[in-house]
Structures are given as C-alpha cells and as structure tokens.
C-alpha cells in the first residue's frame, strides 16, 4: 500500500488564548504538530503534507528542520476544503491517511490497525465511543450496523445527539476517491462549511465499503482545544512513558512524579526518585540512583552512578561510578571520568575531571582540565574570565588544591603539586612542591583590644 499523509492544522485555536498557534504548543517538550509529523512519517516515504492557515511563518520557522510539504489554506472553509488543498501533491494511486495537527497522541499501533483493516478499495475510518461526545460528529449506522453517515453536532437532531459513537476525523481514503469526491462537496449545513465527513455518504452511494477501526486508548484521539486539554494529554503521555520504563526494569519511586521531555534510555535496576525531569537526549546506564528533584538535559550517564538530590546536569558525560550532588550544577562540555566525585554547591562548566578526582564542596571549575586523583578543596575557584576572554586552567595528576584557592587562568598546576589553602595562583605551579601565595601569618605581641570609654559603658 502506498501512503500519503495529510495533516490538517489550519484551525486558529482561539480557545488556547495564546499568541502562539495551537499546534506549536508542546507536549513533553515537543510541539503538537511534530508529534503528528513523526507518527505520519512512519507510514509514508513521502513528506507529510501540512495544511496551515494562520501564522504560517511562525510554523515554518519553528519546524524549519522538519521535512514537510506546506500547503496554505487561506480561509478555513471546512475540513473537506482543507484536504482538497493538498490533493495536487498526492499521487493518484496512493491511499491518503488524514490526521490532525491538534490530535497529537494518535499512536502508531492504532494507525497500523487502521491500515491493516482497510482493504485497498475501501474507505477506512477511525471511530470511538465517547463518554462526552459533545461537539463531535456522530456515527450513524443503518441496517446490518453499517456506517451510513456522519452527522455534525450542529446539524444533529436531539435523537442523533444521544449517539455516543463519534468520528475521530482520522481516515484512510484512496486518493482517486478524494479527487473525485471533494470537488463535489457543498456547504449546505449549519456551519456553511465544506465537510469532509460528507464523503461517507458518497462512498455509500457508490457501494464502496466503509471499514471502521477503533483506537487502542481513548486518549489517543483527543484533540487539544484548551490549555486544560493540553495539560490532560501531557499527563497521559507522561503516564505512558513511565509505564514503559517500569516494564523495562526501571524503578520509579512515583510514576506520577516523573517527566520525560525527549528521547530517553534508562538501564535496568536504575532507581529514580520523585520529581526528576529528563530532557532532550538522555542516556542513563544500569544500577544508577537518581535522587529527588534532579534535572538531566542532554546527558550520558554510565553505570552505577549516584546523582543526589537537587542536582542539575546539562550537556555532560558522566562515567561509571561517579557520585554527584546533592545540589551540584554540571554545565555543557563537562566530562567526569570513572569514580570522580562532585559535591554540593559545585558548578562545573566545559571541563574534564579525571579518574577518582574529587571536588566536593562549594567550587567553580570552568574551562579546565583536571587529571586523576586530584583533590580540589572547598571554595576553590578557577578564574577563567578576564572580562573579555575565557582562559583555560590545567591541573595534572595527584594535585592537591587547598581550600579557598583562586586559580587565575591561563595557569597550569603540574603533577603532584600542592597549593596552600587561601592562595591566589597567577603563575604555573611546579610539580611535587608546595606552592602558596598568601601573607605569612603573624601575631602582634602586646596588642590590646580597644575598650569603650567609662561613660559609654
């Protein structure tokens, strides 16, 4: 079966009360439209055709990396009119899968079922039973339970409104039928729109079989019209993600307090505490423990790593058996080698930290290279910025930097060097020696504390 996909996205989305087009609102960090585009791409060799109306520039700018065919529908004259705008891009011998930019979570499984059930010359339609069918088109069935018509809410009689089977709006239709039928649509209905749903009666008229399929989950076919619905679908999506991780051997302390906003892989026997957010491309190995309230964005974490509470990691590579946090901030370009430790209130940016090195308290390390088994004392700062340029700090193996040192880059601390606490280091420190730069401690003999005058006491 050769498939073309059309995604309708011309609606204005006024009920979002937003200056952003509705389909650019996000679920799990990804625009609604991208969710649908990604699903569509799994069914077709050809780029999805997106029918847009308002704010086309903003759509195209946001999705500029995405391979789609943009088709403008200047006036929203109805779903039938919208599909007809796309027809010139669709080969005659294709089946057309019609999707919606604001129905983001339609699944690959459900659409595969629609494709499987629908024979080549039939019209396939996805229907569902709704608890609250209000506002949706109702499926009218005739003798032998055959679908004979779809009636829109605004055109329905009181009796038809009682029907709970609704039209999801998702169809699989041979392109040749659409090319024949869509020009024949009229807008003689309550909304004065060209209804795509009228093709059902046309199919019936031509004795073309109409085959219905139902979605796996009710939430898949829900549209986003309001922020409330957006929030509901976000929660549904997150629950689904959590389920998948649980099935694959990840422990989530509370699946309801766990958010994934990207492409995430987590190894077996890793435990994730509450309120952890994983964003972008995240890979976490096996047997890791991620404490509560951590954010990991675009990071790769090895096995047996412990990331303690309230740590934020962004654009970093963490090797096996590292310990990070609590309250650590690891910024882009950071590499932590095997068994290194980064403790509380430590910020690291664009630096590599060697095997078994420790930066355990209250430090800033930026643009630095640190060797193995180095100990960076509390309060150490790499002064990497002179107000104009960034400079590098190089620290060899087995170095000991005493607490509260300022290393003014560019500077090198050679292997085995010890830096005395409280030093400001502006020149390279030689290997295996103690370097310090601070005033020698002195005691002033016979010194007396000032005392208050008698009357002030």
Q: Under the criterion CB under 6 A, does residue 302 sit at the interface with ligand UD1?
A: no
Here's the x/- map for ligand UD1, 195-224, by CB under 6 A: it reads as xxx-------------------------x-
Size, binding site for ligand UD1 by CB under 6 A:
27
Considering the complex, state which of residue 104 and residue 366 has its C-beta at the smaller distance from ligand UD1: 104
Residue 319 interacts with ligand UD1 (CB under 6 A): yes or no: no
CB of 64: closest distance to ligand UD1 in angstroms? 21
Active-site amino acid positions: 361
Cα 98 to Cα 75, 111, 314, 361, distances in angstroms: 19, 10, 38, 57
Q: How far is the CB of 117 from ligand UD1 (least distance, A)?
A: 19
Residue that the structure tokens 């700090």 belong to: 393
Task: Determine which helix (DSSP H) or strand (DSSP E) holds 170, and give its type and residue range.
Answer: strand 165-174
CB closer to ligand UD1, 96 vs 313 = 96
Task: Write each residue from 147 to 186 as x if it is in contact with ligand UD1 (CB under 6 A), else as -, in one continuous string.
Answer: ---x-x-------------xxxx-----------------
Instruction: Answer yes or no whether residue 100 interacts with ligand UD1 by CB under 6 A.
Output: yes
What span, in angstroms and rounded, lies between the C-alpha atoms of 212 and 124? 6
DSSP 8-class letter at 274: T
Among 79, 127, 213, 405, binds ligand UD1 (CB under 6 A): 79
Q: Which two tokens stand for residue 276?
A: 């952890």
Q: What is each CA distance from 199 to 5, 146, 194, in whole angstroms?
A: 18, 15, 11
Q: Is 85 in the site for ligand UD1 (CB under 6 A)?
A: no
Region of 72-80, 116-124, 228-236, 418-426 interacting with ligand UD1 (CB under 6 A): 72-80
Residue 404 token pair:
């509260």
Cβ atoms 31, 124 nearer than 8 A = no
**At a CB cut-off of 8 Å and minimum separation 6, what does 137 contact?**
150, 151, 152, 153, 166, 167, 169, 197
The reply to whether 76 sits near ligand UD1 by the rule CB under 6 A is yes
Q: Which is nearer to ligand UD1, 184 or 427 (CB)?
A: 184
User: Under 8 Å CB-to-CB from 22, ≥6 apart: which residues?
Assistant: 11, 12, 13, 16, 32, 101, 102, 224, 225
Among 27, 96, 128, 136, binds ligand UD1 (CB under 6 A): 136
Name residues whose C-beta falls within 8 Å of residue 280's C-beta, 6 or more positions apart in sequence. 29, 261, 262, 263, 297, 298
Which residues contact ligand UD1 by CB under 6 A? 8-11, 51, 73, 76-79, 81-82, 100-102, 136-137, 150, 152, 166-169, 195-197, 223
């Amino acid at each position: 079966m050769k498939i073309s996909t059309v995604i309708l996205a011309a609606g204005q989305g006024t009920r979002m009360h937003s200056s952003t087009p509705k389909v650019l609102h996000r679920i799990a960090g990804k625009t609604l439209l991208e969710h649908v585009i990604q699903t569509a791409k799994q069914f077709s060799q050809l780029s999805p055709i997106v029918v847009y109306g308002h704010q086309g520039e903003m759509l195209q700018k946001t999705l500029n990396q995405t391979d789609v065919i943009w088709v403008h529908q200047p006036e929203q004259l109805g779903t039938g009119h919208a599909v007809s705008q796309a027809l010139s891009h669709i080969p005659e011998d294709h089946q057309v899968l019609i999707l919606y930019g604001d129905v983001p979570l339609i699944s690959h499984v459900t659409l595969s079922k629609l494709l499987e059930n629908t024979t080549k010359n039939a019209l396939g339609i996805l229907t569902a039973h709704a608890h609250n069918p209000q506002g949706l088109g109702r499926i009218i069935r005739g003798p032998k339970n055959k679908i004979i018509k779809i009636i829109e809410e605004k055109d329905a009689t009181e009796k038809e409104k009682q029907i709970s089977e609704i039209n999801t709006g998702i169809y699989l239709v041979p392109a040749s039928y659409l090319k024949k039928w869509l020009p024949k649509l009229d807008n003689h209905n309550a909304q004065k729109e060209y209804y795509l749903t009228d093709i059902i009666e046309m199919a019936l008229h031509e004795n073309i079989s109409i085959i219905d399929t139902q979605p796996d989950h009710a939430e898949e076919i829900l549209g986003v019209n309001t922020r409330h619905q957006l929030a509901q679908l976000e929660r549904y999506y997150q629950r689904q993600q959590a389920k998948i991780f649980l099935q694959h051997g990840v422990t989530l302390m509370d699946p309801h307090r766990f958010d994934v906003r990207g492409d995430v892989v987590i190894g077996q026997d890793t435990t994730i505490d509450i309120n952890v957010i994983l964003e972008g491309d995240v890979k976490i190995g096996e047997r890791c423990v991620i404490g509560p309230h951590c954010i990991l964005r675009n990071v790769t974490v090895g096995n047996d790593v412990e990331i303690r509470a309230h740590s934020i990691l962004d654009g970093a590579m963490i090797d096996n058996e590292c310990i990070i946090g609590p309250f650590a901030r690891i910024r882009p370009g950071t590499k932590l080698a095997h068994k290194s430790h980064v403790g509380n209130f430590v910020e690291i940016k664009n630096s590599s930290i060697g095997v078994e090195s420790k930066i355990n308290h209250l430090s800033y390390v930026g643009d630095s290279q640190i060797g193995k088994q180095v100990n960076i004392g509390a309060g150490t700062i790499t002064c990497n910025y002179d107000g104009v340029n960034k400079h590098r700090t190089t620290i060899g193996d087995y170095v000991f930097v005493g607490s509260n040192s300022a290393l003014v880059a560019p500077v090198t601390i050679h292997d085995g060097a010890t830096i005395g606490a409280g030093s400001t280091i502006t020149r390279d420190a030689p290997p295996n020696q103690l370097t310090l730069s601070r005033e020698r401690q002195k005691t002033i003999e016979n010194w007396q504390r000032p005392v208050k005058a008698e009357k002030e006491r």
